[in-house]
Amino acid sequence: MTKRKSLRLGNRDLPFQMVLLAFGIVTFFPLVLVVITSFKSNTQFYHNFWLPELPLHLGNYSSAFRIIWRFIVNSVLYSGSTICLIAVIASVAGYVFARFHFPFKTALFLGFITLIMVPGVLTLAPRFVLVRDLGMVNTPYALISVWVSGGLVLSTWLMRSYFESLPQELFDAAYVDGAAEWQVFIYVSVPLARPMIATVAMTTLISSWNDLIWPLVTITDKDKMPLAMGLMQFSSDFETDWGTLFAGYVISSIPLLCVFAVAMRQFISGLTSGSIKA
């Protein structure tokens, strides 16, 4: 009975699959275009805007890589540190906000969350003065400290919602077995929260990796620039050389695409582990 029903549902899902595919093509096409253009010389680009053309100019990639690699290494270091700090601090804070009862809890939390509405550029000038006074201008610390504190609000909120959604029975069972609070946190809550930690890591990665304004204000040395800022520099250096420009864009997207593929699997494993259903 159930089997037949699910089969029927499967057939009905076909149009949905077509919707997915159509939307996917629309989404992907502009990116395919970047790849196509990255193999062209300028003459080929102006001759034919959209379609691939032979011969392929692989040299675009080597000349772009010579410039781009440094920015990528920088971004990996900066964003990596940011993510580690946020994952630890936000999990702990989110857990405490979700599962503990203490005076001023709601007031504190609402106070934090309200400030998430403050647009980043609002604090740009005072933040710059602060970082200058702390002697952090033109150092990675300027980026990491601000990215961590800026990303914490959203991440803590995400972690808190996730921990709140876990059923109370799960915790009760652990308490009955004599687990201390920190054990419940490390051995029960964090493993269950892996999908959400992956989401937090990914949103942090995306926002720090792609932040443009703050590095523009604080970083001046070319060899310290993170990728987003380096790309801007690169774009103005190669403004008229479309092939090299787009080859640089392709190279610059590869690290995030790779990390992303791995993080997706983390999502899936969280989905199928089934421990949430308990």
| Residues within window 96-115 making contact with another protein, judged by CB under 8 A | 96-97, 100, 102, 105, 108, 112, 114-115
Count of residues engaged in binding another protein, rule: CB under 8 A: 96
Which of 83, 174, 195, 208 forms a contact with another protein (CB under 8 A)?
A: 195
Q: From the CB of 216, what's the least distance to another protein, in Å?
A: 9
CB 250 within 8 Å of CB 35: yes
**Rounded distance between C-alpha atoms, residue 261 and residue 130, angstroms:** 38
Quick one: which segment of 52-60, 61-69, 76-84, 207-215 binds another protein (CB under 8 A)?
Answer: 207-215
Of the candidates 142, 165, 154, the one whose C-alpha atom is nearest the C-alpha of residue 90 is 154
Q: From the CB of 63, what's the least distance to another protein, in Å?
A: 18
Of the candidates 98, 76, 97, the one whose C-alpha atom is nearest the C-alpha of residue 227 is 76
Contact flag: residue 257 with another protein (CB under 8 A): yes
Contact flag: residue 17 with another protein (CB under 8 A): yes
Of residues 120-179, those binding another protein (CB under 8 A): 120-130, 145-146, 148-150, 152-154, 156-158, 161-162, 165
Closer CB to another protein, residue 20 or residue 58? 20
**Rounded distance between C-alpha atoms, residue 237 and residue 241, angstroms:** 9
Token reading at 134: 């702390």
Contact flag: residue 209 with another protein (CB under 8 A): yes
Rounded to 10 degrees, the C-alpha dihedral 236/240/243/247 comes to 0
CB 192 within 8 Å of CB 199: no
Closer CB to another protein, residue 13 or residue 223? 13
